[in-house]
Amino acid sequence: MPIGVVRSSLDRRTDAPRRPDDGPPAVLEIDERFAAALAGVEAGMDVFVITWLHEAVRDVLQVRRPPTGVFATRSPDRPNPIGIHRVTITAVDGTRVHVGALEAIDGTPVLDLKPCIGNA
Amino acid sequence: MPIGVVRSSLDRRTDAPRRPDDGPPAVLEIDERFAAALAGVEAGMDVFVITWLHEAVRDVLQVRRPPTGVFATRSPDRPNPIGIHRVTITAVDGTRVHVGALEAIDGTPVLDLKPCIGNA
């Protein structure tokens, strides 16, 4: 059950950058049903955005040569294509959460949002 | 669809420590179907374990006083109770992945495993 959706200028998976920090700024459009859960979410916070990488191929277990298990990689193609994106919130406008560099494409479902504590 | 399960001496949610680093060592029992996806997962790696916090209450939107939105907290009670746990792998024995301090309780479903890169 998504809590919202990514709005980004990245349209296609093939456009997604290799390095997360190279992504463009984006907006997380949170569903109005969850507005109350945003109380205290503010500009300047570092958060993990958890996404469902909906274009992923889920029956891929190994990638590359030599073969490497997907659990040893950050490949989006994996049994449960969950994305973890560490971003900084730049503004909150109602249920629209503006964030810095994010490599997820437009339309990616958002599953959760939680503050970073230290390095995790 | 879980890819495995946490085995831990932590039996009950009320026993889970407040600070992640205070959790006991644990074992991730990965389903044999996903054995190939573990190729390259090795002792010494820092990984994110992504879990489904199955005992969470999903209709909680705010916690504490003053009321704080769950997206501004790490409360397990949230619309999609996904746990992110940064752990160090201490050993890999077939499909049993031994990890350091982990605050998830015994029986917690594991959704994904991915290497940490820098601080994310």
Q: What is the pTM of this model?
A: 0.94
Using the Cβ of B105 and the Cβ atoms of chain A, whether some distance falls under 8 Å is answered with: no
- Please compute the mean of the pLDDT values over residues B6-35 and round it to a whole number: 90
Instruction: Identify the three-state secondary structure at position A101.
Output: coil
Q: Which domain holds residue B62?
A: 4-115
Domain annotation covers residue B80: yes
Looking up residue A34, the CATH number of its domain turns out to be: 2.40.30.70
Q: What is the pLDDT of residues B23-79, one digit of tens each?
A: 999 999 999 999 999 999 999 999 999 999 999 999 999 998 889 999 999 999 999
**How many distinct structural domains can be found in chain A?**
1
Smallest CA–CA distance, residue A107 to chain B, in Å, is 18
Q: Which residues pair with A91 in a beta bridge?
A: A98
Test B37 with A71 for CB contact under 8 angstroms. yes
Using the Cβ of B62 and the Cβ atoms of chain A, whether some distance falls under 8 Å is answered with: yes
Characterize the bridge pairing of strands B109-115 and A109-115.
unpaired
Domain annotation covers residue B120: no
B66 preceded by a cis bond (ω within 30 of 0):
yes
Characterize the bridge pairing of strands A26-30 and B82-93.
unpaired
Using the Cβ of B19 and the Cβ atoms of chain A, whether some distance falls under 8 Å is answered with: no
Give the dihedral sign, CA B18/B20/B22/B27.
positive
CA distances from B64 to A36, A86, B67 (A): 13, 25, 5
